[in-house]
Copies of this chain bind each other. A is one copy, B any other.
Amino acid sequence: MMLRFGGADMKFPSIPDKTPFTPLVVMELAEDTNEEAVTWLTSRIKDTQQSGGAELMIDRLTLDDNQDPKKENQNIFIVGASRERLLVGAEDVGLVKEFNDGSMRGFTYANRENFKGFQGDGDNFLSMAECQFIVKHELDTLRARGETHVPGYPKIRLYPGKSVVRRIQSKGILVQIFPLHDKEELKRLSSMWYQNVQLSFQPLDDIRHYFGESLALYFGFLEYFTLAMVPMALIGMPYYLFDWEDYDKYVLFAVFNLVWSTVFLETWKRFSASLAYSWGTLSRKKAFEEPRPGFHGVLGINPVTGRQEPVYSSTKRQLRIYLVSVPFVLLCLYLSLCVMMVYFSAEGLVLGLHDEEPTFWTSLLLYVPSIIYAVVIEIMNRIYRYAAEFLTDWENHRLESSYQNHLTLKVLVFNFLNCFASLFYIAFMMQDMQLLRQSLATLLITSQILNQFVEAFLPFWLQKRRNKRVHRRSGKVSPDQELPFDQQVMLEADMSTYLGTFDDYLELFLLFGYVSLFSCVYPLAALLAVLNNVTEVYSDALKMCRVFKRPFSEPGADIGVWQLAFESMSVIAVVTNCALIGMSPQMKSYFPDSETQLILVVATVEHVFLAFKFILAFVIPDVPRHIQIKLARVEFESMEALKKKKLMEAAAIQNKEQ
C-alpha cells in the first residue's frame, strides 16, 4: 500500500524487511531509555483501538552504515498509519470537509464517499499535514489502562485515563515528537511563496495545506495588515515629501487613520471568517481539551469527565494569579518606568555636559545613555519573559489555551510599556514632536533590520551550513541532491523547533502601535511599516520552510487573543491622537483665550470618536452574510433530519402500540 499525499508520490524509501508504511511523524526517545519501556510503548501504539491502543504503525529508524552508531541516538522511531485508520481518525479529530453539495460538513467515515475529492480508497483525500495532525492526536489520546507506572520506570506513575505520551514527554523519556517535511511539496510551496519576487497574494490555501490553519491565518493577517496600510502609506507620503507641518492636515490624516484602523480590524474578522469557513475550522466542533503536560495536582475526580485525573483547586489558582502574578507584573511595570526615568535623566545630564564643554568625548558620550537603555530593555524583556513563563507555569493552568492566554497577556502588557513608555514620555511630558519623530524613525528602522536578521537570516545561514555538512558527510556534494531517508530524518531532528506564532504576532502588534499611536505626528510610519511587512513576509516564509522543523498543523478559526490586543491598541490610539492634536500649536491658536475650552473640545471629540468606534464595531457583522447563510443551512438540515428521524420513531412506537 502506498499513501499519496497532495498529489506527489512520497519518495521516502520504506523501511526494509518490515511492512512498509508512509512515515509521517518522528518520535525521539532519550538515548538511555529502558528497553522495557520502549517495547511497552511500541506495543501500546500498535495495539488495536478496541484493546485500548492507538492502532498506528511504528518502527525504529535504521541508521545507515556510514554513520557511527555510537554517536547517533538509536531510539528514533517513525510513526505512520493505515489509510483506514487515518480516515477514522479524521472523524475523531472533528475534521470538517467540503461535501458534495458544496457545503462544509463534519467528516464521517460512514459517509466518506459523499465528500468532495474522495475518490476510490480516499488516497488524496487527506493532506499530509492533516494526517500528521491526526497521528499526533491519536498518540496524545493513547491512555494508560491498568498500568500503575511506566514499565522500567517505577517512579513515573500512571493512572487509568492518563495520556501516556504526555506523561513520558513531561518526564523527559520522549525527547521530541515532530512531523516530517515533504521535500517535493515544500519545493513547490517555496517557489510559489517566496522564491520569486512577484506582485501577487501569498498562496494561503497552499500554506494552510502544508502548515495548517493557525500559521496560514498568521500569514493571511500579515498580508491583510500590509495591504490595509498601503492607503495610509500613500496618504502619508506627501506629508513627508512636501514637509507639511500644517496641523489641519495632520488632523485629517489622524481622523482617516482612526476610522481606517477600526474598519480594517472589523473587516479582517470577516475575511478570516471566510478563510476559516473554507478551511473547515469555523464550524469545527472543539474536542474536549486534555490537561496540558505540565499540569499537576492531587489525584481526584474531574467533575466534567468523571475520570480520575489530577485536580487543582481553581480558588488556589485565582489566589496565585491575583496575589502573586498581578502584583509581580505591576512591580515589573513600575521598575521599567523607573529605568526609563533614569535613562531620561542620564540623557539630560550628558546633554548638559556636552553643552557646557563640547569635546569629541562628550559627543561620543551622547550616545551612551541610549545604548545602555537599549541593552537594559533587551535584558529586562528576556528576564521578564522567563519570569512570566515561570509564573504562568506556577499558576498551574489545566488547559494549554488558558496557559497561553495568561502568558500572552503578561508578556503583552510589559512589552507594550517597554516599547511605548519612552515615546509617551517624549510626546506628553517633554512635548518635543521633533524628538518623537526621530525616535519613531530610529525604532522602526532598527527594529526592522535587527528583527529580520536575528530571526530569519542568521538562523537560515547557520542551518544552511549544517545542511552542507550533512550532505558532505553523506557523500552528496550538491545540496539539491536528495539525502537518504535516515539522514533526512536526522537532519530534521537537528533543526530548531518553531515555538508558535506568538513572537511573530507580537512584532506586528508593536508595529501597529508605532503606526497608529503617533500617526498624526509621523505619517511616514505607515510607509516604513509597509516596507517592513513586505520583507517580513519573505523572511518569515524562509524561516518556516528552511530553518525550522515542520510544526504540527493547528486548527484555528481566528487569530484569538490578538484580535483583542489589536482592538485595544486602536482604542488607545484614539486617545493618544486626540491628545497629540490638542497639544499642537495650530489647535492652540484656534483658542487663543482659553486653554480650558480647547481641552473640553478635544475631550468631546475623543468621546465621540470612541463611541463611533464601538458603534461601528457593533454594526459590522463579524461573519459575512453568505457564510452565515451557509452555516445556518447545514444546521437547519441536520435539525430537519433529526426531526424526520424522530417522527419515524414515534410512528414506529404508535404502530407497535396499536
Is the CB–CB distance between B599 and A49 below 8 Å?
no
Asked if A596 is at the interface of the complex by the 8 Å CB criterion, the answer is yes
Q: In the complex, how many angstroms separate the beta carbon of A425 from the nearest chain B beta carbon? A: 15
B50, B625, B643, B649: the one contacting A651 at CB < 8 Å is: B50
Is the CB–CB distance between B575 and A607 below 8 Å?
yes
Which residues of A289-331 have CB atoms within 8 Å of chain B's CB atoms? Answer: 303-306, 314
On chain B, the residues within 8 Å of A288 by CB distance are 632, 635-636, 639
On chain B, the residues within 8 Å of A607 by CB distance are 575
B109, B599, B633: the one contacting A304 at CB < 8 Å is: B633
Is the CB–CB distance between A109 and B314 below 8 Å?
no
Is the CB–CB distance between B596 and A305 below 8 Å?
no
Residue interface bits A566-590, CB-to-B below 8 A is 1, else 0: 0000000001000000000000000
A positions within 8 Å CB-CB of B = 49-50, 88, 91-92, 108-110, 287-288, 303-306, 314, 575, 595-596, 599-600, 603, 607, 625, 629, 632-633, 635-636, 639, 643, 646-647, 649-651, 653
Q: In the complex, how many angstroms separate the beta carbon of A49 from the nearest chain B beta carbon? A: 7
B49, B599, B629, B650: the one contacting A303 at CB < 8 Å is: B629
Is the CB–CB distance between B109 and A49 below 8 Å?
no
Give the residue name and chain of the B residue nearest to A602 (CB): B603
Is the CB–CB distance between B636 and A305 below 8 Å?
yes
Q: In the complex, how many angstroms separate the beta carbon of A428 from the nearest chain B beta carbon? A: 10
Give the residue name and chain of the B residue nearest to A599 (CB): B599
Which 8 pairs, one residue from A and one from B, show the smallest C-beta to C-beta distance? A304-B632, A304-B633, A595-B596, A303-B629, A599-B599, A288-B636, A304-B636, A603-B603
Is the CB–CB distance between B629 and A287 below 8 Å?
no
Q: How far is the CA of A633 from the CA of B303 in the complex (A)?
A: 7
B595, B599, B629, B646: the one contacting A603 at CB < 8 Å is: B599
Given contacts A50-B647, A88-B650, A305-B636, list 5 more A-B pairs with CB under 8 A: A50-B651, A304-B629, A314-B625, A596-B599, A599-B599
Give the residue name and chain of the B residue nearest to A88 (CB): B650
- 21 A-B pairs within 8 Å (CB atoms) are namely A49-B647, A49-B650, A50-B651, A88-B650, A92-B643, A108-B646, A109-B646, A109-B649, A109-B650, A110-B653, A287-B639, A288-B632, A288-B639, A304-B629, A304-B632, A304-B633, A305-B636, A575-B607, A596-B596, A596-B599, A599-B603
Q: In the complex, how many angstroms separate the beta carbon of A567 from the nearest chain B beta carbon? A: 11
Q: In the complex, how many angstroms separate the beta carbon of A386 from the nearest chain B beta carbon? A: 25
Q: In the complex, how many angstroms separate the beta carbon of A613 from the nearest chain B beta carbon? A: 13
On chain B, the residues within 8 Å of A303 by CB distance are 629, 633
On chain B, the residues within 8 Å of A599 by CB distance are 596, 599-600, 603
Q: How far is the CA of A108 from the CA of B607 in the complex (A)?
A: 52
Q: In the complex, how many angstroms separate the beta carbon of A606 from the nearest chain B beta carbon? A: 9
On chain B, the residues within 8 Å of A653 by CB distance are 110
A287, A596, A635, A650 pick with most chain B CB within 10 angstroms: A650
Q: How far is the CA of A91 from the CA of B650 in the complex (A)?
A: 11
On chain B, the residues within 8 Å of A595 by CB distance are 596
Q: In the complex, how many angstroms separate the beta carbon of A200 from the nearest chain B beta carbon? A: 31
Is the CB–CB distance between A110 and B649 below 8 Å?
yes
Q: How far is the CA of A49 from the CA of B651 in the complex (A)?
A: 9
Q: How far is the CA of A632 from the CA of B287 in the complex (A)?
A: 11
Q: In the complex, how many angstroms separate the beta carbon of A140 from the nearest chain B beta carbon? A: 15
On chain B, the residues within 8 Å of A603 by CB distance are 599, 603
